[in-house]
Amino acid sequence: MFEAFYPQLIGLCTGSLLLTSALMVWRHSLLASIRLLALQGMALAALVAVIGIAEGEPELVLVSLLIFSVKGVGLPWVLAHQSKAAVKQIQESPRLNPTAALLAVTLLTILSYVVVSRVFGLGDSVTGHAAPIGLAMVLIGFLLLISRRRARSQLIGFLMLDNGIATLAFLTSGGVPILLEFAVSLDVLLVVLILHVFAGRMRTKFGGTAVDQLRELHD
């Protein structure tokens, strides 16, 4: 019974991952981006759970619970730990306008399908056909990193890039051992905590976290 809905569930999960990635590029509100990041983490956890159930691997189900806890709840909570009123006031002024950003997302997604199909091959499996979504998330994460001006917004791009790498790993090779995933998640959480504290001190000392303003102070 489950196998009959397996392709639809994989498509739903990967479609949600790509949709949240595009919306994070389109939205300029930091609070909205954090909420989308949480939804993306939950969609990634659901994807891993679906693969684990379909392949009969309880270890992947445990990994999905870990991903849900860290990427769906923990990391977004850390980013939104300051008062919501303060977060709502933070509006990003990206280097790309919304139309150009969505066009770039479309081109990067097409490029991902071309690269994966030509270089690696999509294969006959359902997960193999969905693998380009992971590469697209990685490229879109890089797009956020170079198009955002504020440190926190760039941090969201870094986390999306990490989600893309995890998505690609689970779709192509069934993922990584649970201990390795746990160690990587802790490393990412530690990096986010450090960068979050650093961004908070930047805001306190310089009145903002816009990278361009810091370059001007350096000059």
* Per-residue pLDDT tens digits for 141-187: 999 888 887 777 788 888 898 899 889 888 887 655 554 555 555 55
* Domain limits for position 77: 2-213
In terms of pTM, does the model score above 0.85? Answer: no
For residue 218, being part of any structural domain is answered with no
* Per-residue pLDDT tens digits for 42-51: 999 999 999 9
Cα–Cα distance measured from residue 109 to residue 37, given in angstroms and rounded to the nearest whole number:
19
Q: What is the mean pLDDT of residues 52-76?
A: 87
For residue 11, being part of any structural domain is answered with yes
CA dihedral 96, 99, 100, 105 (to 10 degrees): 110
- 62's tokens: 């445990």
For residue 57, being part of any structural domain is answered with yes
Give the model's confidence band at 83: pLDDT under 50 very low, under 70 low, under 90 confident, else very high. very low
Per-range mean pLDDT, top range of 8-12, 29-33, 117-121 = 8-12
Q: What is the mean pLDDT of residues 49-60?
A: 88
Overall domain count for the chain: 1
The whole-chain average pLDDT of the chain stands at 78
For residue 17, being part of any structural domain is answered with yes
For residue 219, being part of any structural domain is answered with no
CA dihedral 14, 18, 21, 26 (to 10 degrees): -150
- 90's tokens: 């933070």
